[in-house]
Chains A and B, each alone.
Chain A
Amino acid sequence: MRGNRVRENLTGWLFISPWLLGFLIFTAGPFLRSIYLSFTRYNISAPPRWVGLANYQKLFTEDELFWKCSFVTIKFAVVSVPLTVALGVGLALLLNQSVKGMTVFRTVFFLPSIVPTVATTVMFLWILNPTTGLINRLLQSFGVAGPSWLNDATWAFWTFVMMSLWGVGGSMVIYLAGLKDIPTYLYEAAVIDGAGPYQRLKNITLPMVTPVVFFNLVMSIIGAFQYFTQPYMMTPKGGPDDSTHFYSMYLFDRAWKYLDMGYASAMAWVLFVVVVGLTAIVLKTQSKWVHYGG
């Protein structure tokens, strides 16, 4: 009996070993190694050299760009995360109606989120071209001179906020699934009690969908702090007046452009701590606003 159990366990470990080895070698190993590297001077070409807290000290006390990029990223998270959550929930509510052809609408709204990021970014580069782009041409037809978008320090940041809403279809589908999960008897009881549409939304729909909002909120916060591909493709040098110089771009440049791996590792750990901290805060507050009642 005992032998069988051992064999069963061994078989289980054997089956998961490819994933486990991959995780240990390609994820856990580099993850732990980067902690060590953040306390070293390391440029790939020579072995790491211990410098203690020097990277962290320089990051916090001497590096203006670090603070500038941090500010841009926090601003982006503060603006785009609530917007994407609100828009996602709003769209899901609209697409949860019993209207003819609803599946077509759902597909249309979901489609942008499955287009590869690079393709979407290239498309936006065309659309936002200040001279030949679709948006400025449309504005021009109304006699309005459109802005320079990515070349304008005032507009560049907001362009990325606008773009972040483009992929809201992915979270919308999850909200929609959450809405479908709400038991109909709750609405039936509310109707019998005389509750109107607004009251049903406020007292049943929104509270019942909060577990999904919570999940998407955490994921959106993590995504916002790691925002990289779009700004790196569209404004690789950080945009006008560093207005689109996101934290992960600066981290990437420090690591791969200036070969400052120790410094970049320190930046990565600061980012990790901030994201974990924010996630912990959201987790801590969930008891006050997330409803798991069925």
Chain B
Amino acid sequence: MAEKTSLGSRKSIVQWIGVFLAVISVAAVFAFQQPTPRRYPKRIPVQFWHRWGGEWANVVNSICQRYNASQDKYEVIPLGVSGGSDIKFRLGVLGGDPPDVMSMWNGAIPDMADNGLLTDLTTLMSPADRDYFFNQSYPVVRDSGMVDGKVCGVTIGSDLYALYINVYQLKAAGLDADHPPKTLEELCDWGEKLTIRDKAGNVKRLGFLLSQLDYLTYSFGDGLWDPSTQQIRTNTPDNVRALQAIYDFRKRMGQDKVQRFQASLNSGSDTGGWPFITGELSMTLDGQWRVEEIRKYSPKMNYRVIPIPPPAQNGRTMGGCLTGNFMIIPTTARQKEGAWDFIRYWSGFTDPEASAQCFNDGGWLPLSPKVVQTKTFQKWLKGNPQFQTFLDIAGSPNCKPLPPVPYLQYLIDGIAKAEDRTVRGEMAPQAAMDDLARLMKQELTKRKELGYAR
């Protein structure tokens, strides 16, 4: 019996030692796991955080590799931090471990600038850089990274929206894609004509849907920001007209039927499942990056891209609002010079040809027409002629930057809510916009009382 107990305890000890060793081994694997070894360990490291994931991250990585191969001083080390990237940036800065450079949605820049987190990039610019940035870039792209006269961000890929048209479906409906609608009202008529329904009236294919109030306000008037008064515009007559147009068209198409159809659509943003490619949408308002997506997933598709036509009365042609990814350098960055050198490479300050390749890889809008004029860009444009529409819009005086305010997210959410309430029939357009104005006033008063500068 004693022998058995002794054996049992010996076995138990061996088992415990086994478990202990297994735990130690697992811990050791994680503790000593090394990051991917650096390719250029003797160079100065430049930590670059970006917001892309999946296939887009591969595009960004290849751009970094090209930059690293183009010079012998710095090594840019990319890190994807998609999802809550602005919070990660802030925590990195405040925690004392910031990136040297980061790509950021330009809507988040004003708040960061107000809180002193960003370097004024003009302090890093040479006279030639200043000339390129201030005199040779698209004004709207340039201004989208500026806050109170300071350059807080430089674009590495701006985004605009325009109307994608399926030529085949138009032809089948007896419409001519080469003579597209001249007014928004005409576009809505086309949208209705292109819509296919079953016997019960359920939508099987949607011709067009007027939506995105925040974008449409730039076709109906001056949009959401008044630079002369430095105030946001909410319930202006033009903005109310824009919402009224959305409401009227939605009512005409049948809100419930449209909503049901929309719920069944694939929401995948960067795959071949985009409903325009699959033929479920005949005409749709979408971003310029879709040009590259169509080339990848449906190269034979016959389509056109046109600016959204203005309303018949008091409309603005080529109206739009620019957003996108802008490079920022935190005030506490360790390697500002290296970060700036990388920005110069990507945005075309040094070599517009190399820069063109970067913008073409992602189908993004560049900072300067100088990049567009390069052989590389022109060759790519020849293969993707529909992209020209976005370049035209970028050059239009009716294309504006986002309101440069630190409470932009609150404003955008409020506009989306006003649109949603209106199309659901909960509120009339005027009432919804008045309510938005009231809520914004309340929020701004609150901010003021709490001591925020803006």
Within 8 A of B (CB), among A30-59: 41, 43-46, 49, 51, 54, 58
B428 vs chain A, min Cβ distance (A) = 15
Give the secondary structure class of B's interface: helix
In whole angstroms, what is the CA distance A258 to B413 when docked?
10
Are the CB atoms of A259 and B420 closer together than 8 Å?
no
CB-defined contacts of A256 to chain B, threshold 8 Å = 84, 87
In this assembly, does B128 line the interface, its C-beta being within 8 Å of a C-beta of chain A?
no
Contact code string A119-142 (vs B, CB < 8 Å = 1, else 0): 000000000011110000000000
In this assembly, does A148 line the interface, its C-beta being within 8 Å of a C-beta of chain B?
yes
Within 8 A of A (CB), among B407-454: 407, 409-410, 413, 416-417, 420-421, 424, 426, 442, 446, 449-452
Are the CB atoms of B451 and A257 closer together than 8 Å?
no
Of listed A45, A58, A130, A259, residue having the most chain B CB within 10 A = A45
Are the CB atoms of B90 and A129 closer together than 8 Å?
no
Are the CB atoms of A132 and B264 closer together than 8 Å?
yes
24 A-B interface contacts by CB (under 8 A): A41-B451, A41-B452, A44-B87, A44-B90, A44-B94, A45-B93, A51-B451, A58-B446, A62-B442, A129-B263, A130-B260, A131-B261, A131-B264, A148-B256, A148-B259, A148-B263, A153-B424, A153-B426, A237-B413, A237-B416, A240-B420, A257-B413, A258-B407, A262-B450
Instruction: Look across to chain A and name the residue whose beta carbon is closest to the beta carbon of B427.
Output: A241
Partner of A46, one of B115, B256, B442: B115
In this assembly, does A70 line the interface, its C-beta being within 8 Å of a C-beta of chain B?
no
Are the CB atoms of A258 and B410 closer together than 8 Å?
yes
In this assembly, does A205 line the interface, its C-beta being within 8 Å of a C-beta of chain B?
no
Instruction: Look across to chain A and name the residue whose beta carbon is closest to the beta carbon of B114.
Output: A45
In this assembly, does A226 line the interface, its C-beta being within 8 Å of a C-beta of chain B?
no
In this assembly, does A159 line the interface, its C-beta being within 8 Å of a C-beta of chain B?
no
Instruction: Look across to chain A and name the residue whose beta carbon is closest to the beta carbon of B446.
Output: A58
CB-defined contacts of A210 to chain B, threshold 8 Å = none
In whole angstroms, what is the CA distance A130 to B442 when docked?
37
Are the CB atoms of A130 and B259 closer together than 8 Å?
yes
In this assembly, does B112 line the interface, its C-beta being within 8 Å of a C-beta of chain A?
yes
In whole angstroms, what is the CA distance A43 to B413 when docked?
19
In whole angstroms, what is the CA distance A289 to B91 when docked?
50
In this assembly, does A151 line the interface, its C-beta being within 8 Å of a C-beta of chain B?
yes
Determine the interface band of chain A, counting residues with CB < 8 A from chain B: 20 to 34
Contact code string A182-208 (vs B, CB < 8 Å = 1, else 0): 000000000000000000000000000
B227 vs chain A, min Cβ distance (A) = 24
A234 vs chain B, min Cβ distance (A) = 12
CB-defined contacts of A259 to chain B, threshold 8 Å = 87, 90, 111
In whole angstroms, what is the CA distance A62 to B446 when docked?
9
Within 8 A of B (CB), among A224-264: 237, 240-241, 256-259, 262
CB-defined contacts of B343 to chain A, threshold 8 Å = none
Q: CB within 8 Å of B: which residues of A?
A: 41, 43-46, 49, 51, 54, 58, 62, 129-132, 148, 151, 153, 237, 240-241, 256-259, 262
Are the CB atoms of B117 and A131 closer together than 8 Å?
no
Instruction: Look across to chain A and name the residue whose beta carbon is closest to the beta carbon of B91.
Output: A44
CB-defined contacts of B410 to chain A, threshold 8 Å = 258
CB-defined contacts of B407 to chain A, threshold 8 Å = 258
Instruction: Look across to chain B and name the residue whose beta carbon is closest to the beta carbon of A242.
Output: B417
Are the CB atoms of B260 and A45 closer together than 8 Å?
no
In whole angstroms, what is the CA distance A58 to B450 when docked?
10
Instruction: Look across to chain B and name the residue whose beta carbon is closest to the beta carbon of A131.
Output: B264
In whole angstroms, what is the CA distance A132 to B202 when docked?
12
In whole angstroms, what is the CA distance A44 to B416 when docked?
26
Q: How many chain-B residues does the 8 Å CB contact rule pick out?
A: 34
B79 vs chain A, min Cβ distance (A) = 20
In whole angstroms, what is the CA distance A257 to B406 when docked?
12
Are the CB atoms of B409 and A258 closer together than 8 Å?
yes
Of listed B84, B87, B417, B450, residue having the most chain A CB within 10 A = B450
Q: CB within 8 Å of A: which residues of B?
A: 84, 87, 90-91, 93-94, 111-112, 115-117, 202, 256, 259-261, 263-264, 407, 409-410, 413, 416-417, 420-421, 424, 426, 442, 446, 449-452
CB-defined contacts of A262 to chain B, threshold 8 Å = 450
In whole angstroms, what is the CA distance A237 to B412 when docked?
12
In whole angstroms, what is the CA distance A46 to B117 when docked?
9
Of listed A237, A256, A258, residue having the most chain B CB within 10 A = A258
In whole angstroms, what is the CA distance A50 to B91 when docked?
21
Partner of A45, one of B115, B259, B442, B446: B115
B99 vs chain A, min Cβ distance (A) = 16
Are the CB atoms of B90 and A45 closer together than 8 Å?
yes
Are the CB atoms of B117 and A45 closer together than 8 Å?
yes
Are the CB atoms of B112 and A45 closer together than 8 Å?
yes
A264 vs chain B, min Cβ distance (A) = 13
CB-defined contacts of B116 to chain A, threshold 8 Å = 45-46
Of listed A41, A131, A151, residue having the most chain B CB within 10 A = A131
CB-defined contacts of A129 to chain B, threshold 8 Å = 263-264
CB-defined contacts of A241 to chain B, threshold 8 Å = 421, 424, 426
Are the CB atoms of B451 and A49 closer together than 8 Å?
yes
In whole angstroms, what is the CA distance A45 to B91 when docked?
8
Known: A257-B409, A259-B111. A131 touches B90 (CB 8 A): no
Instruction: Look across to chain B and name the residue whose beta carbon is closest to the beta carbon of A129.
Output: B263
CB-defined contacts of A153 to chain B, threshold 8 Å = 424, 426
CB-defined contacts of B112 to chain A, threshold 8 Å = 45
In whole angstroms, what is the CA distance A62 to B444 when docked?
12
CB-defined contacts of B424 to chain A, threshold 8 Å = 153, 240-241
In whole angstroms, what is the CA distance A258 to B408 when docked?
9
B76 vs chain A, min Cβ distance (A) = 26
Partner of A43, one of B84, B93, B115, B256: B115
Are the CB atoms of B417 and A45 closer together than 8 Å?
no
B372 vs chain A, min Cβ distance (A) = 36
CB-defined contacts of A46 to chain B, threshold 8 Å = 115-116
CB-defined contacts of B426 to chain A, threshold 8 Å = 153, 241
Instruction: Look across to chain B and name the residue whose beta carbon is closest to the beta carbon of A146.
Output: B260
A262 vs chain B, min Cβ distance (A) = 8
Known: A237-B416, A240-B424. A45 touches B264 (CB 8 A): no
A193 vs chain B, min Cβ distance (A) = 52
In whole angstroms, what is the CA distance A258 to B417 when docked?
16
In whole angstroms, what is the CA distance A49 to B115 when docked?
13
In whole angstroms, what is the CA distance A163 to B81 when docked?
33
Instruction: Look across to chain B and name the residue whose beta carbon is closest to the beta carbon of A238.
Output: B417
Instruction: Look across to chain B and name the residue whose beta carbon is closest to the beta carbon of A132.
Output: B264
CB-defined contacts of A44 to chain B, threshold 8 Å = 87, 90-91, 94
B370 vs chain A, min Cβ distance (A) = 35
Are the CB atoms of A131 and B450 closer together than 8 Å?
no
Instruction: Look across to chain A and name the residue whose beta carbon is closest to the beta carbon of B200.
Output: A145
Are the CB atoms of A54 and B449 closer together than 8 Å?
yes
Known: A54-B450, A258-B410, A259-B111. A45 touches B94 (CB 8 A): yes
A140 vs chain B, min Cβ distance (A) = 10
A227 vs chain B, min Cβ distance (A) = 21
